[in-house]
Amino acid sequence: MTTAEFRLSTQKRTQFVSITANVGNIINKNNWRDGVVTVFVPHTTAGVTINENADPDVAHDMETFSDQLVPQSSRFRHGEGNSDSHIKASFFGSSVQVVIRKGKMWLGTWQGIYFCEFDGPRERTVYVALV
């Protein structure tokens, strides 16, 4: 197993950032040929998902719908005012796995990996494990 991490900065409270290239660079740097990559987000107000990576409107729609589905609200009891961010992070989850085949992530034609920010803007860390 090999592990790595990288940092990223988000610019908005809710933002979906493609990290497909970041993960691919780690795979290439480590000359990993076949296996599985796990991408893990160690934050309680952020997540990670796999979705379409060809049309940026998909990420925009996911951001908008997430905020409409669980809006920031004073009705939540959590004192920091970011309960909506915790809920959204739980919906999306904190990790994804992708098969690596012949040195490349075995994603579908249109798929990409997204870091999901729900409490930004912030500096964030993403962990990657190659097995």
Tens digits of residue pLDDT in 67-126? 999 998 778 777 677 899 999 999 999 999 999 999 999 999 999 999 999 999 999 999
CATH number for the domain harbouring residue 16: 2.60.120.460
Domain enclosing residue 76, as ranges: 2-130
**Please, what sign has the CA dihedral across residues 91, 117, 23, 108?**
positive
Q: Tokens in use for 128?
A: 């990657």
More confident residue, 131 or 78: 131
- What strand order describes the sheet that includes 35-40? 2-9, 123-130, 35-40, 95-101, 104-105
Nearest to 32 by CA among 107, 127, 104: 104
The one-letter amino acid at 53: N
Number of domains in the chain: 1
